Structure 1
Amino acid sequence: SKVVLGKSGFIKGSLNCQDADIEGRFNGNLNVSGILSLRATANIEGEVIAGKLAVEPGAMFNASCKMKSGSSSTTETKTDDKTSPYDRSQRLKKASNPLK
């Protein structure tokens, strides 16, 4: 769910949501799993946990903030290169410094 707090809006308390777009005042615990957007007129106090944070110039942000890490699931990356990561890093070092 997405929460939108307008310029004249004020929330005091705890808020948990997917995304939030804030123009007004918030005081409390804010937990946003996705994107927290703070507009120029926003005034935030308290504790914030967010997946991503976007702050416009002029926004007041007087809060402790923790950023959520990526998803808890593991993403596997496949490559056609059959060499080990160590071999690839050695090749990169040699390519960047051809005198050695």
Structure 2
Amino acid sequence: MESMSIDSLDDSIIIEEAMIKLEEKIRQLHNIERVTHTLVEETLRLHKETVKIERATYTLVEDTVRLRRETAKKIANMRMIVQSLRDINEIP
């Protein structure tokens, strides 16, 4: 009889230790889940910021190209004016 009680007690201790380990693993999984969720949220936030930066960069490139074209036209017009002035000055 006494041996059965000891076996029962040993089984109870083993089960209790296993439950404690299981609870710790569950806590660890919850922590991992929270960290993963935070990482996903941060990744989405960074993606949105990246898209905004890409759009702004694209706009800057378009504006730069437009300004270069406008500048090239103005330079061409100035050259024509200068040439016209030279031509006028050469006429007696």
- Superposition TM-score, scaled by structure 1 size: 0.18
- Superposition TM-score, scaled by structure 2 size: 0.19
Higher relative CO (CA 8 A, sep ≥ 6), structure 1 or 2? 1
* Greater strand fraction, Structure 1 or Structure 2: 1
When Rg is computed on C-alpha atoms for both structures, the one with the higher figure is: 2
